[in-house]
Amino acid sequence: MNSRPARNELLKWERNDKGEAQITVTRQDTWKVKLLSKLFYVPKDRTITLDEVGSEVWQMCNGNTSVAQMIDSLRDKYKLDRKEAEVSLLSYLKTLGQKRFVGFLLEGEKQPPKDGGARARESASGKRWES
């Protein structure tokens, strides 16, 4: 609850005209992808558009806002019960973490750590975060 989600700095993202966050994920250049791209068309990157609530959470993943603060913010804005906000947010952050879109800064950490630990530090394109 005290950890602070931070966006993967290697990901490009922008807001579209509806205010939704659009994340651009670059294709991984592994040997499997290279082989497949010779046989099929594999785009160099793909765009993921987050919905209104997802975009708001994404915006809050700035490394300064804790999970508990995010819960409070969502509760206030959408008039949610604590449990509702908590379950939805944690599940969403888990998905973002698994996809390596965000990492989680622990208490005292000011920037993404340089080595080891959380898999979330690896970028979606397979590179590590620059810190």
Distance CA(11)–CA(24), nearest Å, equals 7
Q: Which is nearer to another protein, 79 or 119 (CB)?
A: 79
Distance CA(36)–CA(111), nearest Å, equals 36
Q: Which two tokens stand for residue 100?
A: 């390596």
Task: Kindly determine how many residues on this chain lie close enough to bind another protein according to the rule CB under 8 A.
Answer: 18
Q: How far is the CB of 51 from another protein (least distance, A)?
A: 8
Does 10 help bind another protein (rule: CB under 8 A)? Answer: no
CB within 8 Å of 75: residues ≥ 6 apart: 81, 82, 85
Task: Determine the interface stretch with another protein among 30-38, 58-66, 72-80, 104-112 (rule: CB under 8 A).
Answer: 72-80
CA-based nearest residue to 70, from 23, 5, 22: 5
Q: How far is the CB of 125 from another protein (least distance, A)?
A: 31
Does 88 help bind another protein (rule: CB under 8 A)? Answer: yes
User: Site residues (CB under 8 A) for another protein?
Assistant: 1, 51-53, 68, 75-76, 78-84, 86-88, 91
